[in-house]
Amino acid sequence: MLSTAGTIGNAGVVTANILPANIDQDLARIKIYDQRQLDPWYVAAFLNSRFGRLQTKRESTGQVQQHLALEKVRQLRVPLLDGRDVIAPKAQRSFELFREAESLYAQAEALLTAELGPDRLDLSEGLYSVRRASESLQARRIDAEYYKPKYQRLLEYIQGTGQGVRLGDWVTEPIKRGVQPEYVDDGDVVVINSQHVGKTHITLDDNRSTSWEFYQTSTNQRAIVRRYDVLLNSTGYITIGRCQTLLDDVQAVIDGHISIIRPKEGLDPVYLGLYLNAPPGQLQTERSWTGSSGQIELRSEVISDFVILRAPIHIQQQIRNLVEQSHQARREAKRLLAEAKAGVERMIEEA
């Protein structure tokens, strides 16, 4: 499969475990008839390499919405290099590890779901809700969204387990946001923004950077992150509430759209990141954000009031192990794919 719109040039191989399946108009299906001569995994590695990308970029047309026509895909040239049989297994193993990473993260989500017992929780929408005026005054909210019955049922359910805690009571320091970075080319410090906090992990591959001077300035210290910080997107309709735990030991700062949460011992940060990214966290985000006209946000004091299910330590540890195994599988997959692409590029340059 080759992406022909949006992320033009991304290539992958269809495997038996994802079938049956179909594709949309933004993918091109490349069927290789003699796979002994031209292995699909080698083709995928080549198309993802620098020389494959040069071709797909060159052949793309359009202004704002670029597209790669099927006729141009047919004209792409793939070199029959000696040694390509070494490239294919690395590419195949890389893609297998990417799928393994997804599976492990899904297992962690399933374990959390089992601990929550959602089958006992009614999250259906109600037609109306009646609340006391004193509640509105205390919450300083009069919008109907905030008082939807499903949110109240969720919070009451978590508290009823005897394991519900207020997030603000389980942090080592006040929840805070980052700062607007000063971007520099080839800087030494990675900048993490809300686009990098994904559905399953934090991206550190194509981030922009800032300087050591910015990093070391006292007024910017609040933006410095460290390993096992929980990063919560706090603005924007598309990504608000998305949350992940930083699992890499990297010199980095966050921008002003992300909040840092550092939980106390007894509330595992990896578990907390998954919890906030799962329905119990997302529902509280939906309930709690404020603003309008595209300028919505989760204020720090609102995040502090989130109710967290502090699961038994052994459950938290099991979830952490699965998420970290997923992270390790993804890291190894990236390493193998980089090796496969570099191998293709080296053979082309030496041919």
What pLDDT score was predicted for residue 312?
96
138 versus 239: which is more confidently predicted? 239
What pLDDT digit, counting tens, does each position of 103-133 carry?
A: 999 999 999 999 987 666 666 666 656 666 6
What pLDDT score was predicted for residue 351?
73
Domain ranges of the chain: 2-99+329-350, 116-311
What pLDDT score was predicted for residue 137?
59
Q: Reply yes or no on whether the pLDDT at 191 is more than 90.
A: yes
Average pLDDT over residues 326-339: 96
What pLDDT digit, counting tens, does each position of 90-107 carry?
A: 999 999 999 999 999 999
What pLDDT digit, counting tens, does each position of 132-156 carry?
A: 666 665 666 656 576 577 888 888 8
Q: Reply yes or no on whether the pLDDT at 250 is more than 80.
A: yes
What pLDDT digit, counting tens, does each position of 1-37 carry?
A: 999 998 899 999 998 888 899 999 999 999 998 888 8
pTM exceeds cut of 0.75 = yes
What pLDDT score was predicted for residue 52?
94
Could you write out the three-class secondary structure of the chain? CEECECCCCCECCCCHHHCCCCCCCCEECCCCCCCCCCCHHHHHHHHHCHHHHHHHHHHCECCCCCECCHHHHHCCCCCCCCCHHHHHHHHHHHHHHHHHHHHHHHHHHHHHHHHHCHHHCCCCCCCCCCCCHHHHHHHCCCCHHHHCHHHHHHHHHHHHCCCEEEHHHHECCCCEECCCCCEECCCCEEEECHHHECCCCECCCCCCEECHHHHHCHHHHHHEECCCCEEEECECCCCCCCEEECCCCCCEEECCCEEEECECCCCCHHHHHHHHHCHHHHHHHHHHCEEECCEEECCHHHHHCCEEECCCHHHHHHHHHHHHHHHHHHHHHHHHHHHHHHHHHHHHHHC
Identify the architecture of domain 116-311 in CATH. Alpha-Beta Complex (3.90)
